[in-house]
Amino acid sequence: MLKNYFKQAWTLMRQNRLFTGIYVVGTGLSIALVMTLFIIFYVKFAPIYPEYNRNRTLVLKPVKRYPKQQPDHWNINGGVAYYVVDKMLPGLPHVELVAGSMPGFWVTYQASVADMQPLKINPRFVNGAFWQVFPFRFIEGHPFTQKDVEARALVAVLSESTARRLFAAADGVVDKHFTFNGRDYRVCGVVHDVSNATPETVADLWIPLLNTQEISEELDERGLLGNVFAYLLVDRAENLEEVRDEVQDVFRRYSQQDKEYEYDLMGQPDPYWVSTFRQDVDRAPDMTEQTKSFLYILLALLFIPALNLSGMISSRMDSRISELGIRKAYGANRWCLLKQVLTENLLLTFTGGVLGLLFSYVIVLTASDWILTLFDKNIYSGSVNTSLTGEMLFNPMVFGCAFAVCLLLNVVSALIPALWALKHPIVASLNMKR
């Protein structure tokens, strides 16, 4: 029976090519936009290279400080002091590791080999735990250790593309030397490129955190304010809230001991996915409003085309009422006719869905930089890799969403016109002009 439904549906599609073309393209464009959103948010939230531990990572960045007698006179740095990462947070219950990093995208850095023209480089300064919180794939060599960080060792991990730019090869470069901002560095490892779709880890090369003059081991006049981003790897995702409370309690106790200043974490540390929405450094994101905004976008992209397609199907059903009346006269019940109509529409929607899925990949692959920055202002630009890998794009979740969108669009656009057409009595249907 189902085979006959699909056979008839295919025949109707061939007979009404204009209707079929408009319907398929309209469905495809709708699904393409929806799927683009799905792909982007999968890239932002899912465990992808090298940020495989997103589901149990807490992020701490800017902290607000103000005089205890003048709460309106607050100030903020880009992150926290190295002391927070090195002394305050390690050892907390349920915290396995505390990674620290400072991106170098706001200052011009250069690297070169021998007499070559200096290259503009986007570095990231990290501690030893960074390599465990974020498991990179090493092509050769190994990461530097916390001992290297504390010794301010002149070692570096290069991305594959940076190794090729400097040495014209990605292998055989371990222990080779290059100049980075006037200092001689030794390559200790090479990793697979990181996309700027993972803004917490992306860089051209990675340097020991204390090698920058902007980081001090000891607290200075800024107190707990600094330039280091802190990432806490929690033992289990279920303990995220407990660890958040513990971190806030640590800062609360420090503020009580500090005679001059009060520190405000502004709701941090954030779960990884919440941190992606923290665009304003002086306040926590309003997740309720963020959720509403994206739901409105999703509904508009889905249901507005569904209503348009429903109108098209309704006009088409007018010409088929007599056909449905004949089927009723020969004993077809209401459910059989409804299945027939839904099957026909499902074939159209599925065809449009395949087209829309292809459209979505074209959109994402050709405009990934622009699209990603629409939803995350922390995406970095420059010489870093901007591509989206197959791991990010081709996954069961994306295809499952595609199928769900197709199915929902089919039901919404076809159900109402079909039910209206099937309400006609047999005699009235047979008397309709064919």
- Flag residues of the chain having pLDDT under 70: 1-16, 279-287, 290, 301-302, 306-338, 367-395, 406, 410, 414-434
Which 3 state secondary structure label does DSSP give 77?
coil
pLDDT of residue 247: 96
The amino acid at residue 115 is D
Whether residue 425 is preceded by a cis peptide bond, meaning omega within 30 degrees of 0, is no
pLDDT of residue 82: 95
pLDDT of residue 34: 78
pLDDT of residue 237: 93
pLDDT of residue 73: 84
The amino acid at residue 346 is L
Hey, what are 149's tokens? 């960080």
H helices, E strands: number in the chain: 15, 17
Determine the Cα–Cα distance for residues 58 and 237; give it in Å rounded to an integer.
Answer: 10
pLDDT of residue 152: 95
User: What ranges do the domains of the chain cover?
Assistant: 2-48+287-431, 62-267
CB 146 within 8 A of CB 127: yes
pLDDT of residue 273: 84
- What radius of gyration, in Å, describes the C-alpha atoms of the chain? 29
pLDDT of residue 367: 67
Placement of tokens 């405000």 in the chain: 264
Helix (H) or strand (E) holding 110: strand 109-112
pLDDT of residue 123: 94
Placement of tokens 């090729």 in the chain: 164
Hey, what are 194's tokens? 């990181």
